Structure 1
Amino acid sequence: MSEKTLAAFPARRKARKRAVDVLYEAEQRDQPILDVLESRRRLAMSDAQMPGIPEYTMTLLNGVAEHLDEVDDAIDRCLVGWRLDRIPAVDRNILRVATYELLYDKDTDSAVPISEAVKIAEVLCSDDSPAFINGVLQSVSRL
């Protein structure tokens, strides 16, 4: 992703994207989400070159970690012709962040996490991913 594109992200979208980054890293390293979060947080505190972890990123990651089975189950119920483990890792983790918000953040209108997930997918994923993510999340929002 170009720095210009990332720089154009509003603060909440940057926090969501950072949550996706940490989820992706945890999955690739086969480590618990909160262990990777703590490692990233410590690194940011000790290295001025590393970006900090926004408070909202920590909220999202704590929530996804706590409710991962429910989040994955909700996504899985909304997939048609797909299995969660067959979805590209970045797409899967974008879905996890947005699904957590849809299911557990009752103060946010459901259109917001869906829109934000699609915008993140437009930058990070294949050309087909934004529409796929939108469709899955629309179904999740109706659960």
Structure 2
Amino acid sequence: MSGSQKKLGARHKARKRAVDFLFEAEARDLDPVDLATERAELAGTDDAVAPVSPYTVTLVTGVAENLDRLDRVIADHLQDWTLERLPAVDRAILRIAVWELFHATDVPPVVAVDEAVELAKELSTDDSPGFINGVLGQVVLVAPQVRAAAAATSQRAEAAQEPGTDA
């Protein structure tokens, strides 16, 4: 399978659709989760609406639920830029990639970064792929600690819920 065929896999399409939903929701001041859910339901009844992948809904929901934290992390790695100055599509791509780096344990970090760069090539300006790669190259360095902290927190929460523990 060639590289270009691989890039058009189901997860790539799901990420691209998630970027579309996040972009549209921001432009129209809508809740992105509601937008994705409504489109998924509509796709079930209207053949003219493309099906919505469960992974698209996972991405949109993950970004929406963690938006403030994701934006803080992105903003901390922008150097001379602000989040508001970025093109909206770049914000959506970065939010998805950072969410994957922190939460999608089945997605290797290099894949999350490569996919974000590929989406930027397809959807954004000529400068965006390099810019996004640079930002994510810095975020990747803190991702393992964030994942480890999240795993420890969820393990403590699970232990606290087990009967017979004093947590």
TM-score, normalised via structure 1 length? 0.91
Gaps (5+ residues) in structure 1? Answer: none
Matched, 1:48 2:57: no
- Distance in 2 (alpha carbons) for counterparts of 1:123 and 1:108: 21
Q: Is the 8 A contact 2:71 2:95 kept in 1?
A: yes
State the partner residue of 2:151.
none
List 4+ stretches of structure 1 deviating above 3 A: none
Gaps (5+ residues) in structure 2? Answer: 143-167
State the partner residue of 2:108.
109
State the partner residue of 1:62.
61
The structure having more radius of gyration, on CA atoms, is 2
Matches within 5 A, 1:1-143: 9-143=8-142
Q: Is the 8 A contact 2:33 2:57 kept in 1?
A: no
Instruction: Look up the equivalent residue of 1:37 and give its one-letter code.
Output: A
- Distance in 2 (alpha carbons) for counterparts of 1:45 and 1:18: 16
**Structure 1 position 113, deviation (Å):** 0.6
**Structure 1 position 41, deviation (Å):** 1.4
Greater relative contact order (Cα < 8 A, sep 6+): 1
Instruction: Look up the equivalent residue of 2:34 and give its one-letter code.
Output: D
**Structure 1 position 36, deviation (Å):** 1.0
- Helix, strand or coil for the counterpart of 2:68? helix
**Structure 1 position 65, deviation (Å):** 1.1
TM-score, normalised via structure 2 length? 0.78
**Structure 1 position 107, deviation (Å):** 2.8
**Structure 1 position 106, deviation (Å):** 2.4
Bigger mean CA offset, 106-115 vs 86-95: 106-115
- Residue identity over aligned pairs, in percent, reads 48
- Distance in 2 (alpha carbons) for counterparts of 1:87 and 1:54: 27
Bigger mean CA offset, 55-64 vs 37-46: 37-46
1:43-78 deviations in Å (ceiling 9; x for gaps): 212210111110111111111111111111110111
Bigger mean CA offset, 39-48 vs 27-36: 39-48
